[in-house]
Amino acid sequence: MGAQWGDEGKGKIVDLFADKFDIVVRYQGGHNAGHTVHIGEKKFILKLIPSGILRPGKMAVIGNGVVIDPEALLTEIDTLEVAGIDVTGQLVISNRAHVVLPSHRMLEKLSQAIGTTSRGIGPSYEDKVARRGIRIADLLDTETFRARYDALVEEKDAIARALGIYQATDLAAIRSRYEDFSRRIRPLVRDTARLLNEAIRDGQQVLFEGAQGTMLDIDHGTYPFVTSSSATAGGACTGTGVPPTRIDCIIGVAKAYITRVGSGPFPTEALDALGDHLRTRGKEFGSVTGRPRRCGWFDAPLLRYTAMVNGIDSLVVTKLDVLDELEKVPVCVTYRKGRAEVKEIPATSGGIEELEPVYECLPGWLSSTAGVTRYEELPPRAKDYLKFMEVQTGVEIGCISTGPERKQTIICPGSSFEQWWQTGLKRISRQ
């Protein structure tokens, strides 16, 4: 799962891990997520389908906690199939996942204040919680779908008219598009909670793939500048129907610096030339919306918080090579407000805005770490930086990503992560 504001590089990591698992399952979010995976010359951007789909023979599951836009899903399926991936042979969709409808996209025009991805994700979760949403199981039943859809559209149109954003829609055309969709996905739909629990009972390995990041979590993130689902580890249980007692370990993914897309508080944002340097070197542009990402320095107090709410056992650090050319690398070690040290992340975005980050500047290593695969080959100052991150966050760094390719990865010697990785993914030994 993402230990910052999303875009930590989970796509590559999940793809890397997927080799050792039988099933990969997404548990929250929708096609607001963008997971980029490079395999040789090919680049895949997955939005809804779990990254495990890129490993032949692995099952990829979309859990009940995800919201599915049928058009986005079909486009993704078609693109992957053209690339030779057996999507229909590997993909399974929960009958309890909610459906994103055109009216959700229309209504999202109202919520642009926080800079959402405009994919209708929030409005779809709103309908889920208001108990008027349409689920995949409803979609498969033409009569139920028509009745529920017509009632929903009537209500949405009334709101849109009142707000002056109404756009006439061809109801019959939309219904028939969704009925076509229902025909195409029917063979993929299952009770995935049952499927996953039975797989675990039978000794199969299941990888839960988070989307977005902890600081965008609806409960624990920088509310209201958050997404509308549970991006923390707990979401893996509610979003799949697999109980907490069946989850063996939690791996957090964090960049060696930090980014965020959209509005909201960001204590360590670098609004200067160094921030631009991170953006250019790190190619920090949104994979879904193309928006430039806001860039800043590694925030240890924030990571301590996300490690706490997720119970992170081991951390994967990505994009270390983006820092290679810096003479000094600032790391936020604590926050201050006036003269007082602030140890807790404030609950309000206004409270976070008032924080003043306190930095320690570490010497840069001024040499390339790109593509390094052995910890011993890292420059000593890069190792010092990583050790500093460990001490400041209190979380072990078990794995380091040094480039977009699968092989550009270091498994840290002597870590509990290494033990977990080498001994067939038994429960990680917790410190």
User: Applying CB under 6 A, which part among 144-152, 176-184, 210-218, 388-396 lies near ligand IMP?
Assistant: 210-218
Cβ–Cβ under 8 Å, residues 104 and 120: yes
| 7 catalytically annotated | yes
* 292 binding ligand IMP? (CB under 6 A): no
Query: Nearer to ligand IMP by C-beta: 120 or 241?
Result: 120
| 35 catalytically annotated | yes
- In the complex, the smallest distance separating the C-beta of residue 121 from ligand IMP, rounded to whole angstroms, is 5
Q: Going residue by residue from 122 to 141, which x/- string records binding to ligand IMP, judged by CB under 6 A?
A: x-------------------
| One residue of 4, 28, 182, 227 binding ligand IMP per CB under 6 A | 227
Query: Nearer to ligand IMP by C-beta: 61 or 215?
Result: 215
| One residue of 124, 214, 228, 230 binding ligand IMP per CB under 6 A | 228
- In the complex, the smallest distance separating the C-beta of residue 378 from ligand IMP, rounded to whole angstroms, is 28
Q: Quote the Cα angle for 143-144-147, to 5°.
A: 85
Query: Which of 31, 35, 104, 220 is an active site residue?
Result: 35
Cβ–Cβ under 8 Å, residues 36 and 44: yes
Q: How far apart are CA 220 and CA 226, in angstroms?
A: 9
Helix or strand run (H / E) with residue 400: strand 397-401
- In the complex, the smallest distance separating the C-beta of residue 229 from ligand IMP, rounded to whole angstroms, is 8
- In the complex, the smallest distance separating the C-beta of residue 2 from ligand IMP, rounded to whole angstroms, is 8
- With CB atoms as reference, the residue minimizing the distance to ligand IMP is 262
Pairing verdict, β 397-401 and 409-411: antiparallel
User: Applying CB under 6 A, which part among 109-117, 300-308, 352-360, 383-391 lies near ligand IMP?
Assistant: 109-117
* 216 binding ligand IMP? (CB under 6 A): yes
* 221 binding ligand IMP? (CB under 6 A): no
> Quick one: residue 319, left, alpha or beta (phi over 0 = left, psi -120 to 50 = alpha)?
left
Cβ–Cβ under 8 Å, residues 415 and 390: no
* 6 binding ligand IMP? (CB under 6 A): yes
Residue-wise DSSP of 108-127? GGGGGGG----SSHHHHHHH
φ, ψ at 155 (rounded to 5°): -65, -45
Pairing verdict, β 294-296 and 258-260: antiparallel
- In the complex, the smallest distance separating the C-beta of residue 291 from ligand IMP, rounded to whole angstroms, is 7
* 346 binding ligand IMP? (CB under 6 A): no
| One residue of 262, 296, 301, 330 binding ligand IMP per CB under 6 A | 262
Print the SS3 string covering 14-43: HHHHHCCCCEEEECCECCCCCEEEEECCEE
Q: How far apart are CA 341 and CA 337, in angstroms?
A: 6
Q: How far apart are CA 22 and CA 201, in angstroms?
A: 13
- In the complex, the smallest distance separating the C-beta of residue 225 from ligand IMP, rounded to whole angstroms, is 6
Work out the burial of residue 177: count CB atoms within 10 Å of its CB; fewer than 13 is exposed, 13-18 middle, 19 or more buried: middle
| One residue of 34, 265, 267, 398 binding ligand IMP per CB under 6 A | 34
Show the tokens assigned to 263.
Answer: 């509005």
Count of residues engaged in binding ligand IMP, rule: CB under 6 A: 19
Q: Quote the Cα angle for 234-69-157, to 5°.
A: 110
Query: Which of 7, 15, 138, 299 is an active site residue?
Result: 7
| One residue of 36, 116, 314, 415 binding ligand IMP per CB under 6 A | 116
* 33 binding ligand IMP? (CB under 6 A): yes
| One residue of 98, 119, 128, 220 binding ligand IMP per CB under 6 A | 119
* 306 binding ligand IMP? (CB under 6 A): no
- In the complex, the smallest distance separating the C-beta of residue 260 from ligand IMP, rounded to whole angstroms, is 7
**C-alpha closest to that of 408 among 381, 369, 382, 380:** 369
Catalytic (active-site) positions: 7, 35
Interface residues toward ligand IMP, by CB under 6 A:
6-7, 32-34, 114-117, 119, 121-122, 211-212, 216, 227-228, 261-262
